[in-house]
Structure 1
């Protein structure tokens, strides 16, 4: 169920939100808005494909409306006091219900989804990070995300193109954060923010233990940088290729930090 592609390098890409699979019984419980799956991180696995030799990837094909594997398993909010979506979302990013009346998951259903989909994803991710760290002495988890650039329910105005999250500079070594931030800010025509609206999800916060050789950083891309932000959510190769060049530069630079021992 969990798609793992093992590489021999020190970088692991997390792909938690690119899946579009929804079990049929759950799909019947969703309303038309839910079935549209509008909050998918569309095409992210395609965008990152082939950017770094030897990279490891961990992906779940299950859609985030089934369960969000980038949320705490106990359902605790990542951003207390701000609008967000939960472990098993009941609304979309616009704050609108995604279930038919009376069809929302109860506590038993949520527990089943957690055991069936959330736990296996993180078991695979943990295994790959441990393998990579054992081989290289350090591992960098680069968590790959994207979102529409204008969502008033979640944030004001237009989102920057590159949204870097390091849990307020705690989930990775300073060199990791600095490398990603400097490359993004040097990219002509793109805007960047560090630890802005998106500081890193549960994955980044949970695995980022730089004192133990585990470094985690999240990249939330504005979808306008590589695709159409309206249905049918088409991939735009003309936009994507320049972006892919910058993303490849980031991943190769992070890998070099491990190979050269410059993670301090």
Structure 2
């Protein structure tokens, strides 16, 4: 299915890397046989992440992007978010409903465990192998690196209150996934553009921050959900303005990570995803 293509991984030598697990828009042909999937195909869930990807290329920083739509498989959910419930698995690895509450499968035809495992092997593992490989490569070049993960957790579920207040929702696994100065750099850059922010609100413990954040080994992670008025602006796509803002976030993070004292020798066994 996903088998990351070269177009989905952009390599650079900055200590910043952008990951966008929810910018995929493609639904595989076998799912398009279900009529409910047809309007999902091509629907962008994370316009903020798309703006970040554009800014990453402008700024010359690495990026790893999803290909498949996150309703097919959510790359920012742990693969042990199973077994599936045929009736209630609407928030986990392979969703049965869209963010609009639309059922994606006829009753009784929800994905079985072997189908979920096939999606994990074809999509989830290749994405995380590519991300882990890029983190390792950059960590050999820099004594500290920062991974900024864009995602839209609240927008993918019809059963959560969608985040409409703060424009910038940042998560750091309760402060354990990165140096505090990086959070200040991110929020100050957002505030300079008149964007509101909250840290460790609804997204205090998302998967990437928990799995990849090892600040003691020089790997720092911040998760970001662009919401509120900022998401609206991204949906309307005022291209240059948005890319300027996202570029400012990336620049602030790069300055912050370069100011950190050298981390200890990296212990990156936690990056293994097999």
Flag whether TM exceeds 0.5 (same fold).
Answer: yes
Q: CA shift at 1:48, angstroms?
A: 3.6
Q: CA shift at 1:172, angstroms?
A: 0.7
Other-structure match for 2:237: 236
Greater mean deviation of Cα atoms: 215-224 or 148-157: 148-157
Q: Provide the TM-score with structure 1 as the length reference.
A: 0.83
Tell me, yes or no, if the aligned pair for 2:148 and 2:223 is still in contact at 8 Å.
yes
Q: Equivalents in 2 of 1:88, 1:152: separation in Å?
A: 14
Does 2:161 align with 1:155?
yes
Other-structure match for 2:16: 11
Given candidates 197, 204, 207, the residue that maps to 1:199 is 204
Other-structure match for 2:268: none
SS at match of 1:185: helix
Given candidates 139, 146, 152, the residue that maps to 2:145 is 139
Greater mean deviation of Cα atoms: 55-64 or 122-131: 55-64
Q: Provide the TM-score with structure 2 as the length reference.
A: 0.80
- Give the alignment of 1:1-264 within 5 angstroms: 1-2=3-4, 3-29=8-34, 31=36, 35=40, 40-42=45-47, 44-51=49-56, 53-75=59-81, 85-146=91-152, 153-155=159-161, 158-188=164-194, 190-222=195-227, 224-225=229-230, 227=232, 235-237=236-238, 240-261=239-260
Q: Equivalents in 2 of 1:6, 1:56: separation in Å?
A: 5
- The one-character-per-residue Cα deviations of 1:162-209 (angstroms, maximum 9, x if unpaired) are 111111111111111221123223432x22111112225211211011
Greater share of residues in helix: 2
From the superposition, tell whether residues 19 and 260 of structure 1 become closer, same or farther in structure 2 (CA, over 3 Å).
Answer: same
Kindly tell me the number of residue pairs found equivalent between the two proteins: 252
Unaligned runs of 5+ in 1: 78-82
Q: Equivalents in 2 of 1:84, 1:182: separation in Å?
A: 35
